[in-house]
Amino acid sequence: MMAALLINLTVLVTVRQPGLLDHPLNRRVRDAEFARDRGAILVGNDPIAESEPTGHAIVPYQRSFTNGPLWAPVTGWFTRIHGASGLELSYARDLAGTASEQTFNRFIDMVTGKTPTGANISTTLNPDAQRAAMKGLGDSKGAVVALNYETGEILALASTPSYDPNELSGLKTGEVSERWQQLLNAEDEPLKNRAVREIYPPGSTFKLVTAAAALENGISPDTEIPSPSSLRLPGTNHSLGNSTNCGGETTTLENALATSCNTAFGQLGLDLGADTMKDMAERFGFNQDNQIDIQAARSKYPADADQAQTALSAIGQFDVASSPLQMAQVVAAIANNGKMMKPYLVKNVVTRDLQVLSSTKPTEQSTPISEATAKQLQQMMQTVVREGTGRSARIDGVTLGGKTGTAQTSKERAPYAWFVGYAEDPKVAVAVFIEDAGVARDDISGGRLAAPIFRSVVQALR
């Protein structure tokens, strides 16, 4: 029995301890974290989250969030009862001063009698871009992600509706619990991070992936492809139609993208085949874990799709689902001449005495397409903005490329509106997603609702 007890104690200390410390129901650890002077989360030199003294003997510090709703999609919440999310969760140990890199600092604090403090984390975010994104989304349900496509730095990460994390960081547990339940049960689901944690049908923005597969397999932008008014889906009694004028029974690949021609891209999906389409989607990151500084959902492309399903998938329908972050990465790879950089939110972790504990350097994640294909897609996306469905994204004097999207979900709910695009100066890729703008069904389109938000974010970065 003694041996069994010793073995169990050894397993608890050496194997299970990290999991128990990080368990969301471990109140003792969270109470201990509340008692610490956690480091600040910084945008530039300005704190958007920091600890403030409470004067309370048991819980001497309380988390305070500056412009809480503006930055909540990034900081997340920090509560004694319901744990943490966002950067407050993923950098919990750095902020609390309990990370392994801070062991020596803790020892010095103990020897000198100094009160332990957590490290500060500096983000990549641009305050002007973040404000433009949140203002553009307004009262809509939606999200915006903006990336520096040469480095992978996340410049804006917005999700609406938002919430104020200050309402969840208080010491009065009854009030916090009441507010938590209100947010949890709210019809518009403000606790959802629509930018990175949710996936949706990308609609016609996915035609960029289909166009990439076509270009990588010998089709050129000026190749004539079928664009009938209706495309019968093989093995079914259903047909795929167009919502725009494709320009005739045949059209070029470039014009098919500019006019967002459904039947042309559905036929491309059939011609390329299920395996080629799935391979290209996965090269862009679909069906892969998306590891960034905060928890992110895996975007998906269907496995074992039949012909009809492949045709629908080629226009971003059927079971294709993407986060706004993933679609921003697709555009970023195209804008960066085929190289996809790993996205990140945190530049470095620094102690209060300015000792750098860790820093993030730009890292190439993959090369989904060749440089030649990327440059062809750039020209095609510029045509979309200059002459096609993305004209409302134009900015005088700025070279832009983009793609609109309107994704059907069900007859009972309105379509989703998307716009994804990039600018050459500033070097930014942006994905805008509108889940519900509260407008009539006939007024919903990516060009009408999402493209103006893209434009305002790019202008904010100039």
* Torsion sign, CA atoms 29, 34, 36, 38: positive
Q: CA 274 to CA 301: how far, in whole Å?
A: 10
Residue that has been written with the tokens 């990140």 in this structure: 344
DSSP letter string over 354-375?
A: --EEEE----EEE--S-HHHHH
Q: CA 420 to CA 83: how far, in whole Å?
A: 34
Q: CA 255 to CA 242: how far, in whole Å?
A: 14
Q: How far is CA 270 from CA 98, 149, 308, in A?
A: 54, 31, 8
Q: Identify the three-state secondary structure at position 42.
A: strand
List the catalytic residue out of 162, 204, 323, 456: 204
323 is catalytic: no
Q: CA 231 to CA 254: how far, in whole Å?
A: 19
The C-alpha R_g of the chain, in whole angstroms, comes to 24
Q: CA 176 to CA 184: how far, in whole Å?
A: 12
DSSP 13: I
DSSP letter string over 153-180?
A: BEEEEEEES---GGGGS-S-HHHHHHHH
Q: CA 198 to CA 438: how far, in whole Å?
A: 20
Q: CA 219 to CA 277: how far, in whole Å?
A: 14
Cα angle value 353/356/359 (rounded, 5°): 150
Q: CA 176 to CA 191: how far, in whole Å?
A: 14
Torsion of CA 88, 150, 290, 213, to 10 degrees: 160
Tell me which residues are annotated as active site: 204
